[in-house]
Every structure is written in structure tokens, then in C-alpha cells.
């Protein structure tokens, strides 16, 4: 599967804005809205992901709330497959299944419709996508949730990987991981 060369990675990185001290002092937030509103950069990213996954025969792209919805829905359209949202509790209108995961100070939870993948007869092949992986808690919970509903989550894809937090190592225990860009 295709990966970007260093020049292309630098091009995309230049379209992502750093916001210092957000959401709290000492944090440098990676603001992807500047990439999204650059039609050339966003188109380039989506074309790259389409090229990477077009031969994989993916049945669904599952996106983690909320920025994973942006990349996931756009990629699903390009690949000609379905999109499934993974949401925070209480946001989905039908029967759901959930997975809890630990945070630094507490517990959070994500949900998916229990019948999200029922349109396929065999075990669906699913790509998980989100904008960023940090500590890996949400992504690991999402992979676990996908396995609970009986799909093959063959890879988790992230635009940005904060490698110094090693969250990708947690997710790699459950599925393959691809990061378009890595931040050391």
C-alpha cells in the first residue's frame, strides 16, 4: 500500500496550524481546519488515501467522532463503500453497543449502532479512521467495539500520529496502523 514521500508529508504539514496553549497551557493543538479549507491540500490527502486503499475491497469506513467523520465520509465516497459513525454516548438514535475506555482522570465511552454492518452477508472488511492518535485510548476502544460487532477491522488510519505518546503501539496490539503524518 502506498505511503507519502517526505516532500508530500511536508506539504501537508504546512497546511496544519499549531495553536499554542489550547485547550490548556502547555498543549500545542494541531488544528486541521486549515488543511480542510485548503481545497488543494484536502483533495491531495483524500486522493492519497483513495490510492492507498482502493485495491483493498473495503466494505465500510468507520469514523470516530467527530473529525473522523470528515475524513471517513469523504474517503468512503471515493472508495464507493459505506460509512459508519462511531459516536459518544447518547448520540445515535437506534440500539447501540458500547465500549468504555480509561482517560487520565476517569472513563469515557463510544457507541455504534448494533446493526451498522448488517447490509453485508460475509464478515465486512472495515477501515477505521480518525484525524489524530495521541494516547490510543479512543482508537483502541473503537477497534474493540468493531470486533464486538463482528467485523474485520484490518487497519486504523490517522492523519496525525503524536509518536511521543506511543498511542499507536496500543492500537497495533489489535490491528494494523497507518499514519499519514508523524509528529515527534
Q: Where are the domains of the chain?
A: 57-183
Catalytic residue, chosen from 54, 56, 67, 109, is 67
pLDDT tens digits for 84-138? 999 999 999 999 999 999 877 789 999 999 999 987 678 999 999 999 999 999 9
User: Between the CA of residue 179 and those of 95, 107, 124, 125, 136, what are the distances in Å?
Assistant: 32, 26, 22, 19, 13
Neighbours of 125 (CB within 10 A): 17
> DSSP H helical segments within the chain, as ranges?
6-14, 33-36, 39-53, 67-79, 137-148, 167-171
Say if residue 66 is preceded by a cis peptide, omega within 30 of 0.
yes
Residue located via cell numbers 516532500: 7
Tell me if residue 111 is catalytic: no
Tell me if residue 54 is catalytic: no
Considering the domain 57-183, what is its CATH architecture?
A: 3-Layer(aba) Sandwich (3.40)
User: Between the CA of residue 155 and those of 4, 40, 56, 105, 161, what are the distances in Å?
Assistant: 17, 26, 11, 28, 14
pTM of the predicted structure, to 2 decimals: 0.96
Say if residue 148 is preceded by a cis peptide, omega within 30 of 0.
no
The pLDDT value given to residue 118: 83
Band of the pLDDT at 1, cuts 50, 70, 90?
confident
Amino acid at each position: 500500500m502506498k505511503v507519502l514521500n517526505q516532500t508530500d508529508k511536508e506539504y501537508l504539514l504546512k497546511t496544519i496550524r499549531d495553536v499554542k496553549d489550547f485547550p490548556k497551557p502547555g498543549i500545542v493543538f494541531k488544528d486541521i481546519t486549515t488543511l480542510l479549507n485548503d481545497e488543494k491540500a484536502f483533495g491531495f490527502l483524500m486522493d492519497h488515501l483513495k490510492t492507498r486503499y482502493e485495491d483493498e475491497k473495503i466494505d465500510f469506513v468507520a469514523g470516530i467522532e467527530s473529525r473522523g467523520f470528515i475524513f471517513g465520509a469523504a474517503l468512503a465516497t471515493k472508495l464507493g463503500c459505506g460509512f459508519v459513525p462511531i459516536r459518544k454516548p447518547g448520540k445515535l438514535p437506534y440500539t447501540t453497543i458500547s465500549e468504555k475506555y480509561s482517560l487520565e482522570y476517569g472513563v469515557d465511552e463510544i457507541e455504534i449502532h448494533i446493526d451498522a454492518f448488517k447490509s453485508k452477508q460475509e464478515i465486512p472488511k472495515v477501515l477505521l479512521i480518525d484525524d489524530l492518535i495521541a494516547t490510543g485510548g479512543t482508537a483502541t476502544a473503537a477497534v474493540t467495539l468493531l470486533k464486538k460487532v463482528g467485523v474485520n477491522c484490518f487497519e486504523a488510519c490517522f492523519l496525525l500520529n503524536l509518536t511521543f505518546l506511543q498511542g499507536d503501539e496500543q492500537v497495533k496490539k489489535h490491528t494494523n496502523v497507518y499514519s499519514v503524518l508523524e509528529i515527534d
